[in-house]
């Protein structure tokens, strides 16, 4: 059975919205290498429609190690409006998304990776489908923006790993503390 990992850039106050606008000054070669490793160890990527379209716009006509991984790896986009994704190796998953994700998890080995996609992460968290959370926490308080987890979500987690980078970014790996 596949595992499902959710990865996101977060500000110190939990904002996940538009990390390209504020995360860039904190990225280092070591973080880039960690991100490449995470992408490389994933069998497929899972996106919400907004994140999918942002990522397709950035990577589908690019080249280099990260672009090559994004372009070659199978991608699933959760959407009720997008019918024919133009990014190579992409398929649409329509609602109910939780059923489609359960099928993807049951359909093989390795890791499925949700990249960004805060609304999708919230839905999959509520359905108890995420096996691991990987956050890159920036040493920055934004004070506004959409948080990854809004008020009302309660999920005990177990710390699996933590690493601090020279830029002050902290990588945190958690698993749900399932009983």
Token digits of residue 6: 């959710």
Sheet holding 157-164, edge to edge: 90-93, 75-78, 42-48, 111-115, 3-10, 132-137, 170-176, 157-164
CA 47 centroid distance within chain: 7
- Residue 20: per-residue pLDDT: 85
φ/ψ (deg, to 5) at 63: -140, 170
Q: List the one residue out of 27, 3, 45, 13 whose CA is nearest residue 144.
A: 13
Rounded-to-integer distance, Cα 83 and Cα 85, Å: 6
pLDDT of residue 38: 95
| pTM tops 0.75 | yes
| Of residues 132, 145, 127, the one with CA closest to residue 172 | 132
Domain ranges of the chain: 3-176
| Consecutive 10-residue averages of pLDDT for the chain (179 residues) | 96 92 95 94 94 92 92 93 89 87 92 93 94 97 93 92 97 91
What is the rounded CA–CA span in Å between residue 179 and residue 164? Answer: 29
| Fold observed for domain 3-176 | Dihydrofolate Reductase, subunit A (3.40.430)
- Tell me what pLDDT residue 45 has: 96
pLDDT at 179: 60
CA distance 97 to 129: 11
Closest CA to 114 of 142, 161, 77: 77
């Amino acid at each position: 059975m596949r595992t499902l990992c959710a990865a996101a850039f977060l500000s110190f106050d939990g904002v996940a919205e538009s990390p390209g606008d504020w995360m860039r000054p904190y990225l280092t070669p070591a973080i880039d290498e960690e991100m490449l490793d995470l992408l490389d160890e994933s069998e497929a990527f899972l996106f919400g429609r907004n994140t999918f379209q942002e990522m397709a716009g950035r990577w589908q006509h690019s080249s280099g190690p990260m672009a090559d991984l994004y372009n070659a790896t199978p991608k699933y986009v959760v959407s009720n409006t997008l019918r024919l994704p133009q990014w190579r190796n992409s398929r649409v998953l329509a609602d109910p998304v939780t059923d489609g994700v359960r099928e993807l998890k049951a359909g093989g080995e390795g890791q499925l990776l949700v990249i960004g996609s805060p609304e999708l992460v919230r839905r999959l968290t509520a359905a108890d489908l995420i096996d691991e959370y990987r956050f890159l926490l920036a040493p920055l308080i934004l004070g506004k923006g959409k948080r990854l987890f809004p008020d009302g979500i309660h999920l005990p987690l177990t710390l699996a790993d933590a690493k601090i980078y020279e830029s002050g970014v902290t990588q945190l790996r958690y698993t749900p503390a399932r009983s």
